[in-house]
Each structure stands twice: as structure tokens, then as C-alpha cells.
Amino acid sequence: MQAISPVDGQVLGVFEKSSAETIRRQMDAARAAAAAWSSIDVTRRVRLLSRFSRILLDEADLVVDVIMRSTGKVGTEALLGEVYPLLDLANYYEKHARRILRYRGVSTSPFGFPGATAGIERRPYGVVAVISPWNYPFQLTVAPILSALFAGNAVIFKMSELSLPVGALIGDLFDRLDLPAGLVQAVIGDGQIGELLIDAGPDLVFFTGGLAAGRAVMQRAARHPIPVLLELGGKDPMLVFADADLDRARDAALYGAFSNSGQACVAVERMYVEQACYEGFVQMLVEAAAHLKVGQGLDGDLGAMTSPRQIAVVEEHYRDALAQGAKASGPLLREGNYLKPVVLWDVHHGMRVMREETFGPLLPVMPFSGEDEALRLANDNDFGLNASIWSGDIRKARRIASRLQVGNWAINDVLKNVGHGRLPFGGAKKSGFGRYHGAEGLRSFTYPVSGLICRSRLPKEPNWFPYNAERYAHFKGFLDFVYGEGSLYRRIRRNWPALQAFREYSVFDLMQRWQNLRLMLPWNRDN
């Protein structure tokens, strides 16, 4: 398979497509590596993985250069959008993975479980298949790889066929770590190879990409069945109220809509502006957008579009909007794989640009009259990934955020909350399910195992045989004593026969409380 640069059409390399037999051998190697890796204490895993951040910092210029040539991004976008979030995520897990993954004790009922302690441990799935997209190929591959590794899994990853040089670089970087052989491997190919990877039987599939491909991944995984985490597309709204700092909102809108030429799942793809400032704000956007510079390398604000197929989608959305009466800040100028950004207004929800994921440098703007209409418009979409609210009244903005049907939101900021390593990220509605980043994201690469330890010296448990009508009445009375209404005195009085029947277990109440307290102490968590 040839890798072609969207910048100038040069061939960046030729890669051998994986076969079904190769993938089966890789899966066997990954299973052996996963068994060895999961047996290593979390503290040691963290120590071994901490070198990745140092390597990434040392090789930042090389990483940025490969990303620029493979995707068409400008250098600053590659550095801030692909490298920085990984350093922040790795730093967070280096400091907190042990706490996040440790055994957690839970309280138990002294009657139902006399002399017992209980808790939850987190176990790695085993082998995780990571299938990543072309828009942020480095970040959106390495982030789930790191999460899976910190959690104790092995990884087989498949890059988009448009990002193969980035995949080779990722493999080289992980090869520099002192990890078990086969712990991080790559397969090469298109969607069919992704199907073969799923058919090889990983224990978890982590997919990032579009809705249609996400459905196909889920259907394929369901054949086996294999659990999936899906990070899918977005049609993210930006709500601007008249009391916002409009200059800041304007600059944020341009960045949110046109960063990476709009090729971001959390890009601002729908903008709603309060009627009182709508006309003036549109004019502000048009004037500011005219000064954005399309360039390459380290020069320019917007780089190339990575996929010619995506350029065609942007062109279709632009034509459809104009055909239905939208006004544009200018023509959609194309030079090679470079598109000049365009602001659209007089748009409505019947247009494709307001309903379908555009994934390109178009910013459609629509007015609203008040909070209720803003919410109705923002929620009127199949996707629910990210959103931003702009207002000088934080209480109002927070109230609106609580009613948005999204997995993530930001107030008076845009786009970059996806890169916050301490916040779980994921979608609602058709934007997928599951989370990565943050504590929840790390736990997503593990499954909970519940355990109960009984230290009772009683000859039998209260719920063991034999059963009879009298025993039933005593059980019912005890349940009323514990969970029923009324004061403690009233509950004791009306259920005294039941309490007498189970008095042999009352001595264990204080013991149970002490055991639960001991379990919560950090030096006893694993006992």
C-alpha cells in the first residue's frame, strides 16, 4: 500500500498489507505478552511506560514532521493537537494510575454477610484492538494505546490507510521501551483488515472514526461477541449569547471551526448566536476569517485536507447550502488539497451543513431568540459529542450546559477540552459510547471483578437451609427492622421476635464495622 502526502502528492512509503495468517500470529504473540505484562505490578508498569514521555519530547520535531507530511497539518497544529495532549495524559497516568486501578473495599451488611469483607478489583481485558482515524492519527492512536498499557493490556493497532507513516513511527517509538515482545504491534490495511483484526478475537475493540464505520465495527464485534468502545463523529454546537465577550467568542469560533481545516470530531460545526448581536457578530466573523492564512509546514493557520473524499463532502455541503438560500463569505476556493475557510449564514436545519458531519472548513451561523430556542436548536441533531456556551453570566451558561444532550461541554472556551487528560471524553446519542482520558477512561480498559471474603466462625449463615414458615416470618421481620419506616424504637418493638431469632448474629455487628473500617485504610486495601 502506498502512502501519498496530501501536501504535494509525494510517495511517503510503501507498506505491506497484513494477511489473515499474519494477524493470527500477532494475536498469539499479543496474548503471551498480555499475560506477562498483566502480572507486573502497576507501579513497575508505570515506571517502564514513563520513558515514553521523555522519548516523545526528545523526538517532538520528528513526530511533527511525519504528521505534517502525512496529514497536511501545519506544524503548530501537529504540536499542540497531537503531541501536547499525549504528554499531559501520560503525566496524569504516571501519577495516578496506581490509585485509579487499586482494589476498592465496599461495605457489607452484618446480617446478610456476617464476618465478611467485600471489594472490587480491576483486571485488564487482555488484548485490545485499537482502530484509529486519519484526522489526528498520532494522538488518537497513542492515547488509547497508553491507556490500554497502563491498565495492563497488550495492543494491536490499525492505522487508517491514509496515515501509514504515522503508524510506523508509533511502532518505532514503542519499540524503544523495555516492554515484553509483542506487547504493541501494528496491522496494515484498509477496512477489510480491520474486520480480520476483529475476527482474530481481541478482548476489547477501541474504535475512533465516523458513524458508518462505527456501526460496521460494532456489527463485526457482535459476531464473537467482543465489547467495544466507540468514539464517533460530532456536529458540535457553539451558543453565543449577547452578554458574552464577543471578540473572544469570534476568535474562538474561528479556531473551533477551522483548526486542522475543520477535520476534528469536536470542531464547531453549528453556531447559534443570540438575535440581539447576530448581524454584527456575523460581520465580525466574516472580516476575521478573511485574514486566516492557508499554508503548510510551520507557516499558516490552516493546512491541507487529508482526504480528497472529505473535500468532496465539504463541496457538497457548500453547494447544498447556497442552493437553499444561504449566504457565504466567499467561494469555496480549492488549490490542490487546500480549501479556503468559508462562513455561511441565513442557514436552517433543512440544510446538510446543519445536520450532517461536514469535517471541513465551513462555519454555518444561525440566530436564536432566547435560552429555550438555543437549547432546542443545539439538541436538534443525531450527534451529541461536544458543545460550548458563551456568556458573561456563568450561572446561566452552566444551567444551559446541564440541559445539552452531549458527552462534554465547555463554557467560554472551545475544542481543547477534548485534550484535557484528567477529564473523561466520549459521546452521547450517535456520537458513540464509552470513555477515554481521566480515571474513567483508564478503567474503561479494565473490567471489574467483585470479591467477597468471609471470616465468620459461625457454623452456618442466616440464609442457609432449612426454611419454614416461621423462618420466613423472621426474615420478613428483620427486613422491616433494617429497611422499614418509623423510629428505631418502633422497628425494634414490632420486630422483636425476628431480632431474637437472629440474636446469634448480632455479635458480629461490631466486628463487621471494624473490618470495613480496616479495609478502607490504605495499608490494608489488598488484604
Q: For 329-355, what is each residue's pLDDT tens digit? A: 999 999 999 999 999 999 999 999 999
> What is the side-by-side order of every strand in the sheet holding 116-124?
104-106, 116-124, 446-454
- As a whole number of angstroms, the distance between CA 52 and CA 203 comes to 25
The DSSP bridge partners found for residue 285 are: none
Q: What is the pLDDT of residues 392-401, one digit of tens each?
A: 999 999 999 9
Q: Which helix (H) or strand (E) holds 54?
A: helix 51-58
The full DSSP string for 332-388 is --EETTEE--EEEES--TTSGGGTS---SSEEEEEEESSHHHHHHHHH-SSEES--E
Helices 139-151 & 84-101, crossing angle to 10 degrees?
Answer: 20
Cα pseudo-dihedral 366, 367, 371, 372, rounded to 10: -70
Compute the Cα dihedral for 390, 394, 396, 397 and give only its sign. Answer: positive
Q: What is the pLDDT of residues 67-101, one digit of tens each?
A: 999 999 999 999 999 999 999 999 999 999 999 99
More confident residue, 357 or 498: 357
The pLDDT assigned to 21 comes to 98
The pLDDT assigned to 527 comes to 38
Residue 222 in grid coordinates: 457482535
Integer angstrom CA distances of residue 68 from 57, 59, 131: 17, 14, 21
More confident residue, 116 or 219: 219
The pLDDT assigned to 95 comes to 97
- As a whole number of angstroms, the distance between CA 201 and CA 52 comes to 28
Q: Which CATH number is associated with domain 22-96+124-232+439-448?
A: 3.40.605.10
The pLDDT assigned to 503 comes to 78
Q: Which conformational region is residue 331 in: left (phi greater than 0), alpha (psi within -120 to 50 degrees), or beta?
A: beta
Indicate the domain borders of the chain: 22-96+124-232+439-448, 236-417, 450-524
Q: What is the pLDDT of residues 288-321, one digit of tens each?
A: 999 999 999 999 999 999 999 999 999 999 999 9
Q: Which CATH number is associated with domain 236-417?
A: 3.40.309.10
Q: For the ranges 4-8, 455-459, 461-465, 495-499, which has the lowest average pLDDT?
A: 455-459
Per the prediction, the chain carries an average pLDDT of 94
pLDDT for 472 beyond 90: yes
The pLDDT assigned to 187 comes to 98
The pLDDT assigned to 459 comes to 85
The pLDDT assigned to 363 comes to 98
- As a whole number of angstroms, the distance between CA 378 and CA 374 comes to 6
The DSSP bridge partners found for residue 310 are: none
Q: Grade residue 457 by pLDDT with cuts at 50, 70 and 90.
A: confident
The pLDDT assigned to 36 comes to 98
Residue 402 in grid coordinates: 446541564
Q: Grade residue 521 by pLDDT with cuts at 50, 70 and 90.
A: low
Question: pTM for the complete prediction?
Answer: 0.93
Cα pseudo-dihedral 263, 264, 270, 271, rounded to 10: -100
- Annotated catalytic residues are 231, 265
The pLDDT assigned to 511 comes to 42
Q: For the ranges 123-132, 401-410, 429-438, 501-510, which has the lowest average pLDDT?
A: 501-510
**pLDDT above 70 coverage of the chain, percent:** 96
Q: What is the pLDDT of residues 247-284, one digit of tens each?
A: 999 999 999 999 999 999 999 999 999 999 999 999 99
